[in-house]
Amino acid sequence: MANKIEIKYNGESFELPVMTGSENESAIDIGKLRSMTGLVTLDYGYKNTGSTTSEITFLDGEKGILRYRGYPIEQLAEKADFLEVAYLLIYGELPTKEEYEKWTRDITHHTLIHEDFRTIFEGFPSNAHPMGVLSSLVTSLTAFYPKSLDPERSMGELNMSIVRLIAKLPTMAAWAYKNELGFPLNYPDNAMSYVDNFLYMMFALPVEKYKVNPVISRALNKLLILHADHEQNCSASTVRLVGSSHASLYVSISAGINALWGPLHGGANQAVIEMLEEIIEDGGDIDKYIKKAKDKNDPFRLMGFGHRVYKNFDPRARIIKQSADEVLSALGVEDPVLEVAKKIEKIALEDEYFIQRKLYPNVDFYSGIIYRALGIPTEMFTVMFALGRLPGWIAQWLENRKNGEPIGRPRQIYTGVNERDYIPLENR
């Protein structure tokens, strides 16, 4: 494979290096393009731009491959637990038994949040969106742990920030949920596993005994693993960009939460349920909506179908479909929304339009269904995504800092008005 590329501009010829990654993906290194030619590149949405080199996640959308640190997502979802995967993403290797025990012990012992957080919660109106609450709370961690503001201070301090984040985010998320409902807040129970403890804080009420259903716990563990990283997506890129200004870990993660909030990113699973509700409200005529989705003159699209990167199948959707089936049958939920989802899935998978265009249900289709079956309200769906994505964001932030990457600062092509003279107010 050639390791340089020649470009011709204004009658001159220039050579730029081509670099190749460990999975043979190649890129033109344009670092010297401007100094050589005066040109910059223009790429809206960075669709064709590698912003960094990374050792964390490999994704091949054509082949439906997703690997964290080399391990196939299928194996991790089947065999690992979420904290193990979090360790793998952040520190680069699966933990040894001793490392795993210390890691889980450290996280378990930091699940409590400072009592003053209760006052902060009380300050939010009860209808506050939980994503807004979550990002504010993560930023406010800097007030409680000011040493975290200086990530260069020591690796020990940075590790503490990492542990605190992973430990406390589920508590904050569950409290945001309880606050919205006006229910009493549950304190973490250190005797429980990470996932069980989160379910307990979300669903236990003082008035009745709560027992974690292992089917739900397994499904949630898988969902968190499947969402744990997805290379340079919008929120991961945000975390890296904010971190590149040497902003601290907490505020960078808070920025990632805000980026995830948008309906084009983490909000898609919510859109799936909203679409299903709309179909029911409109009389439940599924064929009508399938026709609408196929009609080029109709902007309607089947939410939860298709993917920008995965053009054959989304490996995460395959795994989570099985969990969705298990959860629905274990819980025996009867819900018209879920019935419509199952019918749409069946019809679309057999329909020529969807088959030809390789439009399969994506991870958001099934995760939306599972969250709904678990009784999680739709505006909490993106919070669930954030809980899963947290280790990926941390890993991306750390890598950016360890690589000593420069501050992120894209260029632009100015298309505005050329120089003109100021006109005094009375003359305008």
Listed ranges 136-144, 190-198, 218-226, 298-306: which one lies at the site for ligand COA (CB under 6 A): 298-306
CB under 6 A: which stretch of 43-51, 69-77, 147-155, 355-363 binds ligand COA? 355-363
Count the residues of the shown chain that bind ligand COA, applying the rule CB under 6 A: 14
- Listed ranges 42-50, 230-238, 252-260, 301-309: which one lies at the site for ligand COA (CB under 6 A): 301-309
Is residue 167 involved in binding ligand COA (CB under 6 A)?
no
Taking the complex as a whole, how short is the minimal distance between the CB of residue 364 and ligand COA, in angstroms?
5
> Which of positions 361-420 make contact with ligand COA (CB under 6 A)?
362, 364
| Residue 288 is a binding residue for ligand COA (CB under 6 A) | no
**Minimum distance between the CB of residue 310 and ligand COA, rounded to whole angstroms?**
8
Choose which of 64, 130, 188, 306 interacts with ligand COA (CB under 6 A).
306
Select 223 or 302, whichever has its Cβ closest to ligand COA. Answer: 302
The type of residue at 120 is: I
Among 63, 102, 291, 301, binds ligand COA (CB under 6 A): 301
Output 205 or 349, the one with its CB closest to ligand COA: 349
Whose CB is nearest to ligand COA?
A: 306
Q: In the complex, what is the shortest distance from the CB of residue 357 to ligand COA, in angstroms, rounded to a whole number?
A: 4
Of 307, 314, 325, 421, the active-site residue reads 307
Binding to ligand COA by residue 304, rule CB under 6 A? Answer: yes
Report if residue 308 touches ligand COA, rule: CB under 6 A.
Answer: yes
Q: Which of 196, 229, 314, 364 is catalytic?
A: 364
User: Which one of 107, 344, 359, 376 is in contact with ligand COA (CB under 6 A)?
Assistant: 359
Taking the complex as a whole, how short is the minimal distance between the CB of residue 426 and ligand COA, in angstroms?
51
Which lies closer to ligand COA via its Cβ, residue 88 or residue 290?
290
Least CB distance to ligand COA at residue 278 (A): 14
Q: Interacting stretch for ligand COA, rule CB under 6 A, among 44-52, 238-246, 356-364, 375-383?
A: 356-364
Return the residues of window 124-153 that contact ligand COA according to CB under 6 A. none
Q: Is 364 among the catalytic positions?
A: yes
Going from the C-alpha of 229 to that of each of 34, 72, 182, 307, 428, the distances in angstroms are 33, 12, 33, 16, 54
What would the two tokens of residue 135 be? 């990002």
Q: How far is CA 76 from CA 149, 193, 322, 329, in A?
A: 33, 18, 15, 24
Please select the residue that binds ligand COA; options are 169, 251, 279, 303, rule is CB under 6 A. 303
Binding segment toward ligand COA, per CB under 6 A, in 116-124, 146-154, 193-201, 297-305: 297-305
Cβ contact 150:248 at 8 Å: yes
Min separation Cβ 302 and ligand COA, Å: 4
Three state DSSP letters for the chain:
CCCEEEEEECCEEEEEEEEECCCCCEEECCCCHHHHHCCCCCCHHHCCCCCCCCCCEEEECCCCEEEECCEEHHHHHHHCCHHHHHHHHHHCCCCCHHHHHHHHHHHHCCCCCCCHHHHHHHHCCCCCCHHHHHHHHHHHHHHHCHHHHCCCCCHHHHHHHHHHHHHHHHHHHHHHHHHHHCCCCCCCCCCCCHHHHHHHHHHCECCECCCCCHHHHHHHHHHHHHCCCCCCCHHHHHHHHHHHCCCCHHHHHHHHHHHHHCCCCCCHHHHHHHHHHHHHHCCCCHHHHHHHHHCCCCCCCCCCECCCCCCCCCHHHHHHHHHHHHHHHHHCCCCHHHHHHHHHHHHHHHCHHHHHCCCCECHHHHHHHHHHHCCCCHHHHHHHHHHHHHHHHHHHHHHHHHCCCCCCCCCCCCCCCCCCCCCCHHHC
* Catalytic center residues: 307, 364
Rule CB under 6 A: which residues touch ligand COA? 268, 293, 301-308, 357, 359, 362, 364
